[in-house]
Amino acid sequence: MVDKTDEMKQKIGDIKSSVSDKTDDVNNSINQIKEDTQDKTDDMQEEVGKKRTQAEKLLNDIMNTIKNKQEGVGKTLSDYTTALQKPPSDIIETIDSIIIKIDLPAVKKEDIEIGIEGESIDILAKFEEESEDENINYIQKERSYGETKRTIKLPSEIKVKEASAKFQDSVLTIKLPKIEKEVHKIDIN
């Protein structure tokens, strides 16, 4: 009976050893799977990062191209629309006044309106279209006709009631006397 008990103990020991070996094998397999999964996850994240960087670069290139084209289109549109809307002007500031000179070729004095409001001045001019003969064929027509309004922000306060304007040789000259700012001196003790 002792032999059978020893034999049973031997078999139980072998089974325990076998189970322990299998447990170690399973744990090793699990660890290997975890490592492989982590490696694949790292590879996938790296690949996604590369794709994301490529996509961001592509999107930035597209946005920059659109922005550049938009600036070009805006400038082209501006060239067509600002010719009539904003006649060329000079704004001169002296010690006691602001002088504005605006070129208004082919405009009559009666077709000019000037309005001063707050810190800005509005100049409205009407460019009359020449009467067209039916027998005339324009090869090129660049001069604009219609109404144009120019609003200019003034750099300082002015004496509105003392403002003056003259129109000579297609140049409108507006003189706006500035309000003198009082400087208060403070005595130092």
Pick left, alpha or beta for residue 134 (phi over 0 → left; psi -120 to 50 → alpha; otherwise beta).
Answer: alpha
pLDDT (tens digit per residue) in 52-97? 788 888 888 888 888 777 766 665 665 555 445 577 889 999 989 9
Rounded Cα–Cα distance for residues 152 and 189 (Å): 45
Residues 6+ apart with CB under 8 A from 159: 176, 177, 178, 179
Comparing 3 with 46, the larger pLDDT belongs to 46
pLDDT band at 99 (very low <50, low <70, confident <90, very high): very high
Rounded Cα–Cα distance for residues 100 and 104 (Å): 13
> CA neighbours within 13 Å on the CB side: how many for 153?
1
Residues 170, 106 contacting (CB under 8 angstroms): yes
CA dihedral 80, 82, 84, 85 (to 10 degrees): 150
Average per-residue pLDDT for the chain: 82
Considering Cα of 116, then 118, then 154, then 120, what sign does the dihedral take? negative
Residues 6+ apart with CB under 8 A from 152: 89, 91, 100, 120, 121, 123
Residues 99, 175 contacting (CB under 8 angstroms): yes
pLDDT (tens digit per residue) in 137-174? 777 777 777 788 888 898 888 888 999 999 999 899 99
pLDDT the model gives residue 82: 47
Q: Say what percent of the chain tops pLDDT 70.
A: 89
- Is this structure's pTM higher than 0.75? no
Instruction: Pick the range with the lowest mean pLDDT from 1-5, 28-32, 64-68, 99-103.
Output: 1-5
Pick left, alpha or beta for residue 60 (phi over 0 → left; psi -120 to 50 → alpha; otherwise beta).
Answer: alpha
